[in-house]
Structure 1
Amino acid sequence: MELLVLLNALGTRLLFVLHSLLGVWRVTEVKKEPKYWLLALLNLLLCLETVFTLKFKQGRGYKWFSPAIFLYLTCIVPSLWLLELHAEIQFCSNKTEELLQNISGKDTLNFGHEITNNHIINTARDLVNTLSSVCQPIWTLGLHQTFLLLLIIGRWLLPIGGEITRDQLSQLLLMFVGTAADILEFTSETLEIGNVRKKHALVYAILGVWTWSMLQFPLNLAVQHLECSPSISSKKVFRLLLCRHSADLWNIGISLFIQDGPFLVVRLILMSYFNIITQMLVFFTAKNILVVMLQLYRLVVLSFDFHASLRYQSSSRKGGVGCCPCEPNNLSLPPSSCDMDERDCATIALGNSVTNEHL
């Protein structure tokens, strides 16, 4: 096993465990009950996954799914739920900034003195006390932000499997950046509305949709292209469509059923049923409507292009020509060339004509 792969696999999972333990610690501080430390036992699942990945996959990831990301979600999401459902909402003032400035000022004054164990312990204790005094909304928002950042950075650092290329990984990470921003905006914008906190059922619904939207991060489907088997005939329309446009279809499905679609439903319920209307809520509702309409338009375009390709292919075969009408007698084309559309055939014909002119 390569040393770099081992370090990335262990280091990333260690970051996941530390962040989930930070969330559990914050829950125990808020609830004032030690029993919530039992949530830390969920990290044992991540430890078991690490052992199996190192043993059977040599530290590398899988093609369609990332178990490490999924188990990290399992470890941290319950803590965030408990923090969001906590009834006590503290008022955040400038006291937090003053406390942080005091801690940094103490560190600056003592920087020139000899560092002893007692000094380190006292500084750590002061830092913990300062962090404990930070009001809950800032803590919860900070955990949400670092959680989403760790998902992106962790997915970047985790060793990729042989089935995923670096180009596909870069596309996936860029998609995750935009997705994380939309998810953070959804939770912060909806839960910060005063009337929403008073309706527990509505808070449960928002957190449920938020949890559902997080399930797209362990998936690698949005950048995966299926290989079309020669045995798939044009009669199996759905399988052929999924084969040719798998990545586009997964992107559309994730947007409609995991992210933008559920977000739109929640916002419409807030505006229509609960009569909660704000300027930002109206704007993001309009944005979700626009995204859903564009995704449906993209689906229609893919469907029309696909059926047009099938009709063209069928008519060309009935006419007694080969799979490419522009190259009826070209036996050097591979069997997969029968899936080419008219533009591909035109490109081949243009290239052959140029070649003939040179000859």
Structure 2
Amino acid sequence: MELRVLFNALVTRLLFVLHSLLAVWRVTEVKKEPKYWLLALINLLLCLETALTLKFNHGRGYKWFSPAIFIYLISIVPSLWFLELHPEIQFCSNKTDSIVQNNGNEDQHYNRTETSDNPLLEKALDLVNTLSAVCEPVWTLGLHQTFLLLLIIGRWLLPIGGEITRDQLSQLLLMFVGTAADLLEFTSETLEIENVRNNHVLVYAILAVWTWSMLQFPLDLAVQHVECGPSVSSKKVFRLLLCRHSADLWNIGISLFIQDGPFLVVRLILMGYFNVITQMLVFFTAKNILSVMLQLYRLAVLSLDFHASLQYQSNSRKGGVACCPCEPNNISLPPNNCDTDEKACASIPMEEAIPAECL
């Protein structure tokens, strides 16, 4: 096992565990109940996954799916749900700045007397006191932001496995960066609206759709192609379309059914039924509409090109070219000296020149 692969695999999973524990700590601080520390037990699954990956896959990732990303999701998403649903942290108090200033003034003398010999410890205590007095919605927003950043950075640092290439990984990361802003606005900006926050059904619906959209991060389907097997023929149209344009179709499906489609439905309901209209909501609604329209246009273009290629190959088959779209043209003509040697040409059977399945 390469040292760099081992280092990246362990460091990435350690970052996932630390961030998940930070979110659980905030839940226990908000709820004032130690029982919420039980959420940290989910990280044991990540430890088990790490051991199995190091033993059986030598630290590298898997094809189509990333178990480490998925376990990180199920370890931190419940904590974010608890923070968003807590009724006492919906809006920031105007006393936050004064609390921070008062805490600093009250503890200044104590810190100087108790930690005068260790200035580093004094600065650490000041930082802890300041962070403890920060408004809780700011903490929740910070966890959302670092959550998305860690998903992208963690997917980048995790060792490549399966059949995914570095070029495909870069495409996947660019897709994640593009969707991160939409995901962040969907939870932070939308839930900050007072009419939305006071409606519990809307809050649950927004969090449910947001959780559903997170399932795109463990998947690598949008950049990996399915190879056409020898058994795939032009008669199996759907399988042939899937193996030819698998990455494009998965990308379209993720956009329509996981990302832009559900987000567009929720935002249209907010604007049309609940009369919630803000500048950012209108902008991202227009963005989702454009994304859905472009994905449908792309699907239509792929379908037309696919049927055109089938029609062309069907006509070529009648003219003696290869009969199967996935197979190369292996039909060879007799040598030119057949023009002078008719007996030699007559001895060549037709079955040897044309494959049996094309007859």
For the superposition of Structure 1 and Structure 2, which TM-score range results when normalised by the shorter chain? 0.7 to 0.9
Quote the residue 2:137 is aligned against: 137
Query: Given the two structures, how large is their TM-score scaled by the length of structure 1?
Result: 0.84
CA separation of 1:124/1:235 partners in 2, compared to 1, >3 Å: closer, same or farther? Answer: same
Aligned twin of 2:297: 297
Q: Choose 1 or 2 for highest CA Rg.
A: 2
Provide the aligned length of Structure 1 versus Structure 2: 322
Retained in 1: the 8 A contact 2:116–2:122? no
| Contact 2:77 2:211 (C-alpha < 8 Å) held by counterparts | yes
SS at match of 1:222: coil
Shift of 1:72: 0.3
1:46 aligned onto 2:35: no
CA distance 1:319–1:290, change in 2 (3 Å): same
Contact 1:64–1:220 under 8 Å retained in 2:
yes
Separation (CA, whole Å) in 2 of partners of 1:216 and 1:115: 51
Query: In the alignment, what sits opposite 1:346?
Result: none
Q: Is the contact between residue 92 and residue 137 of structure 1 (CA under 8 Å) also seen in structure 2?
A: no
Residues 7-59 of structure 1: CA deviation (Å, up to 9, x unaligned) = 11111000000000000001111111111111111110111100100110110
**Residue in structure 1 matched with residue 159 of structure 2 by the alignment:** 159
Which residue identity is paired with 1:271?
M
Q: Alpha carbons of 1:331 and 1:223: their partners in 2 closer, same or farther (altered >3 Å)?
A: farther
Instruction: Give 1:186's aligned amino acid.
Output: F
Residue ranges of structure 1 left out of the alignment (5+ in a row): 333-359
The separation in 2 between residues aligned to 1:96 and 1:36, in whole angstroms, is 29
2:342 aligns with none
Give 3-state SS (helix, strand or coil) of 2:64's partner: coil
TM-score (norm 2): 0.84
Partner residue, 1:220: 220
Q: 1:249 to 1:150 in 2, by over 3 A?
A: same
Q: Is the 8 A contact 1:24 1:40 kept in 2?
A: yes
Do the aligned residues in 2 keep the contact of 1:96 with 1:135 (CA within 8 Å)?
no
Where do 1:1-359 residues align within 5 Å? 1-88=1-88, 89-93=90-94, 95-96=96-97, 99=100, 116=118, 120-322=120-322, 331=332
| Structural RMSD (CA) | 2.6
Say if 2:13 and 2:46, in contact at 8 Å, map to a contact too. Answer: yes
Question: How far is 1:120 from its partner?
Answer: 4.8
Shift of 1:95: 4.2
Query: CA contact under 8 A between 1:234 and 1:310: conserved in structure 2?
Result: yes
Change (3 A) 1:136 1:329: closer
Q: Which range moves more in the overlay, 281-290 or 66-75?
A: 281-290
Q: Go from structure 1 to structure 2 and tell me whether the alpha carbon gap of 1:126 and 1:321 turns closer, same or farther (over 3 Å shift).
A: closer
For residue 224 of structure 1, report the CA deviation from its aligned partner.
0.2
Look up the SS of the partner of 1:306 in the other structure: helix
Taking the aligned partners of 2:77 and 2:163, their CA distance within structure 1 comes to 29
Offset at residue 230 of structure 1 (A):
2.0
1:257 counterpart letter in structure 2: F
Q: What is the CA-CA distance between 1:241 and the residue it aligns to? A: 0.2
* Cα 1:299/1:11, change in 2 over 3 Å: same
Q: Which amino acid is 1:138 matched to?
A: V
Q: Which amino acid aligns with 1:245?
A: H
1:240 Cα deviation (Å)?
Answer: 0.3
| 3-state secondary structure, aligned to 2:58 | coil
